[in-house]
Structure 1
């Protein structure tokens, strides 16, 4: 999690602790407040130490339980200020793509499951080195950033080791247009599609393809990745959006499920990929 985001959450936690300690009716211990709220004492500790993001209902209950209901508006404003955290590419890429990929490696390493939708390019979790190389070169040129392509490629390939660890699960949806997108030379794209054909059936990968003619209940939006249903990262041209409030995560899970209903998996997915692969002349 970003330093700015975590700092804001810790500051909110300190404010919550202050309200508990300075309750008009007298100082409350963490145990006493937990009893009033009907919560586990561990939740009080996590909120005060910035290890858990509160909901609106949590903040309202806290303000009332400490005898300071009027403070809810302030607490809610603080929450809304950081629950949607924007990580600009300009700031992230100041030192190149390599450090950004290492951040992702650390983020993914602790996750057990991932749910992702890729509507722009093949998911980084399944990219070949050559395909990734072209992606990084294009984005470095777009953002006018340090061209550390080889460092970034190595970091991305390292992240894919996650796929071969017991207990991991990648649930990936890709629109068929991604398979056709010529963001690399034909021979590189052909090898990339061969890679996708090879992962169908892997124990740790459930890959679905949204055919071009699939009936969709939702319009295609930005690509996103959900880690253990605790964090959603949405990609845009100017920034990544990191979201960890429960309501938003639930929303993105419903989006994933809606697209999954229209996707094909297994042999049917292989047939779509193979059809595109046959069209490439190398």
Structure 2
């Protein structure tokens, strides 16, 4: 690896979620970040790059394999052919490392403490504190879903932030812990119309990601809402399914159900 190649790798890391060079060996560069616990070691191979991802999150590698199956090599490493592909893999790795379970929860307590510190004394345990925790938690959850879904609707792919909502599968009030409330797999990034229906249990998803629609919604309204046959989640991880099961149990109890 020459100095130009090393500089290109370090710049790609800085631009795509890895702002530190954690270790420096003769033939590789290891990238790291203060924002997440994942490291990526990049080695030059011909005109391309090998990337070895090191993380304590069990769900990271399966997610990367789903997104970059063609680039996966034996042992869980990835091989890309150019700088643009390297940037894409590093960017997705960083986004997932920020979004995946425990990351949102890790920063939640600190963010709540900072928000509460600005309030007058004597508000501990009051409705105001509850609202602060709810507001901070919902923002953390939304941020995590934006990272995980690439700032695009989980069904339609619409990428306009103003119309995207963070939808819980297992509602906030039903969750047993902050870890559940902030789990990126406990919800989907949806456009406002899909979010409203999902939140009211008028739609749900099966274990293959297919859209389920309550028969309580008139066909004419479905057409007006842009809901049509074949709509489905862009992908579905195994970790989503326990939360979807909870959501469907309420959806099914609300009346007649069916498929689009």
TM-score scaled by length of structure 1: 0.27
TM-score scaled by length of structure 2: 0.28
**Structure with larger Rg:** 1
Higher RCO (C-alpha 8 Å, min separation 6)? 1
